[in-house]
């Protein structure tokens, strides 16, 4: 009887300790997800405006202070034709160059760490300033068209080219965020200019005669007028290569729906 009683007390003690430890762990987890006011510290957001550019853009934001948060954004655009091609054409401002590259396709992904300071009374609410860094990688497919004159006859031809361009930029985002309900938020990226460097190349393989090399070399030279990036091209009997390097500029903007937890 005495042994049974002792065993029962030991079991009760172990159960009590187990319950206490479980409850303490649950409270610690809950505390890590809430700030001092008891509100959740995390926001996940989807930039719905990016869909107009055939892009999927998401961001995770976490509060680390009363008015401060850190976030990490991810953007991906599957390879496709250029959105708003008429705008892109106006930037080139050369009909022959545009005719040569109008069928090119591009895709990209980007990772963007960000630090936010909210100028209002609390984190996640009101206007904010956010310095950020962005790494992006662009893939390009270009069926480049050109004309060559051989024995007095003008012939149209093309060379299939592809490659990658990587960019690293820093910038400052100005925006505002509103609480729509207990857990739903709206984040407006008003303006986020960024500037940095770019490097990469695209190339294509094709057997070219001397006349074709000269024609393609002249056509590729026109690409040196592209804005915001330096271009250098090389052509030989086996094909062509275009190197991109130098400065790179961009702009962030968007409208995101977020869930707080």
Query: Is there a single domain that holds both residue 50 and residue 164?
Result: yes
C-alpha dist (Å) from residue 59 to 43, 62, 90, 259: 8, 10, 32, 11
- Residue 170: name the closest of 135, 133, 115 by CA: 133
Same-domain pairing of 20 and 143: no
In a domain, 69, yes or no: yes
How many domains does the chain contain in total? Answer: 2
| 37 inside domain | no
Strands, E assignment, the chain: 42-47, 56-63, 68-81, 105-118, 126-150, 153-179, 184-205, 230-236, 239-260
Do 18 and 142 lie in one domain? The reply is no
Single pTM value for the model: 0.75
Domain assignment of residue 38, yes or no: no
pLDDT (tens digit per residue) in 56-115: 999 999 999 999 999 999 999 998 876 656 666 666 666 666 665 667 788 999 999 999
Q: State mean pLDDT over 18-41.
A: 52
20 and 96 share a domain? Answer: no
3 and 58 co-located in one domain: no
Tens-place pLDDT, residues 102-154: 677 889 999 999 999 999 989 999 999 999 999 999 998 988 878 777 777 78
Query: Domain check: are 99 and 212 in the same one?
Result: yes
Name the band, by pLDDT with cuts 50, 70 and 90, for residue 21.
very low
In contact, 54 and 78? CB cutoff 8 Å: yes
Report DSSP letters for 12-39, one per residue.
Answer: HHHHHHHHHHHHHHHHHHHHHTB-TTS-
CB 146 within 8 A of CB 121: no
14 in any annotated domain: yes
18 lies in which domain range? 1-32
Same structural domain, 177 and 239: yes
Whether 158 and 203 map to the same domain: the answer is yes
> What is the b/e burial string over 149-181, where b = at least 16 CB atoms within 10 angstroms of the residue's CB?
eeeeeeeeeebebebebebebebebebbbebee
Q: 193-205 pLDDT, tens per residue?
A: 999 999 999 999 9
The answer as to whether 245 is a domain residue is yes
Shared domain check, 53 and 6: no
Residues 132 and 3 in one domain: no
């Amino acid at each position: 009887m005495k042994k049974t009683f002792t065993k029962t007390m030991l079991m009760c003690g172990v159960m009590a300790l187990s319950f206490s430890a479980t409850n303490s762990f649950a409270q610690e987890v809950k505390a890590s997800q809430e700030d001092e006011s008891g509100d959740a510290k995390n926001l996940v957001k989807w930039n719905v405006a990016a869909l107009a550019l055939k892009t999927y853009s998401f961001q995770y934001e976490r509060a680390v202070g009363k008015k401060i948060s850190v976030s990490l954004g991810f953007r991906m655009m599957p390879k496709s034709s250029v959105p708003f091609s008429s705008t892109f054409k106006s930037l080139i401002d050369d009909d022959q160059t545009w005719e040569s590259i109008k069928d090119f396709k591009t895709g990209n992904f980007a990772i963007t760490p960000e630090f936010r300071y909210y100028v209002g009374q609390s984190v996640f609410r009101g206007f904010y300033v956010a310095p950020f860094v962005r790494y992006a990688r662009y893939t390009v497919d270009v069926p480049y068209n050109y004309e060559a004159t051989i024995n007095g006859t003008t012939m149209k031809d093309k060379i299939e080219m592809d490659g990658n361009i990587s960019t690293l930029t820093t910038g400052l985002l100005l925006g505002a965020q509103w609480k729509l309900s207990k857990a739903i938020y709206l984040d407006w990226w008003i303006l986020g200019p960024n500037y940095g460097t770019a490097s990469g190349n695209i190339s294509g393989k094709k057997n070219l005669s001397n006349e074709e090399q000269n024609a393609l070399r002249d056509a590729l030279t026109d690409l040196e007028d592209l804005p915001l990036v330096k271009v250098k091209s090389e052509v030989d009997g086996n094909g062509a290569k275009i190197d991109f390097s130098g400065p790179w500029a961009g702009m962030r903007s968007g409208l995101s729906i977020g869930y707080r937890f």
